């Protein structure tokens, strides 16, 4: 079964309870997600692929490039866009 994959700019918020919320959006302005079209709320585990660059501001990190985000067995994965079809 193929997993649903969202592609867009990514904003990751660190929550007070130790979880993270991942927003997939059309733009990031001043570190804020704009036109959010998918959210993984209060994820217990987020895996960021090695080499994926995120800019950190306080309790928030965000991308400046389009990334892929998918949930696999309760882990929210963030990775570069795959060229595999």
- Predicted local distance difference test score (pLDDT) of residue 2: 60
pLDDT tens-digit readout, 46-58: 999 999 999 999 9
Residue 3 clears pLDDT 80, i.e. is over it: no
- Predicted local distance difference test score (pLDDT) of residue 1: 45
Split at pLDDT 50, 70, 90, the class of 83 is low
Could you give the maximum distance between any two Cα atoms of the chain, in Å?
Answer: 38
More confident residue, 83 or 63: 63
- Predicted local distance difference test score (pLDDT) of residue 84: 64
Q: What is the 3-state secondary structure (H, E, C) of the chain?
A: CCCCCEEEEEEEEECCCCCEEEEEEEEEECCEEEEEEEEEEEECEEEECCCCCCEEECCEEECCCCEEEEEECCEEEEEECCCCC
- Per the CB < 8 A criterion, the answer to whether 47 and 29 are in contact is no
pLDDT tens-digit readout, 13-42: 999 999 999 999 999 999 999 999 999 999
């Amino acid at each position: 079964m193929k997993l649903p994959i969202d592609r867009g700019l990514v904003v990751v918020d660190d929550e007070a309870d130790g979880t993270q919320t991942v927003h997939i959006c059309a733009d990031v302005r001043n570190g804020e997600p704009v036109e959010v079209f998918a959210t993984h709320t209060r994820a217990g585990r987020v895996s960021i692929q090695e080499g994926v660059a995120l800019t950190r501001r306080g309790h928030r990190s965000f991308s400046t490039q389009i990334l892929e985000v998918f949930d696999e067995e309760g882990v929210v994965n963030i990775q570069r866009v795959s060229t595999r079809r």
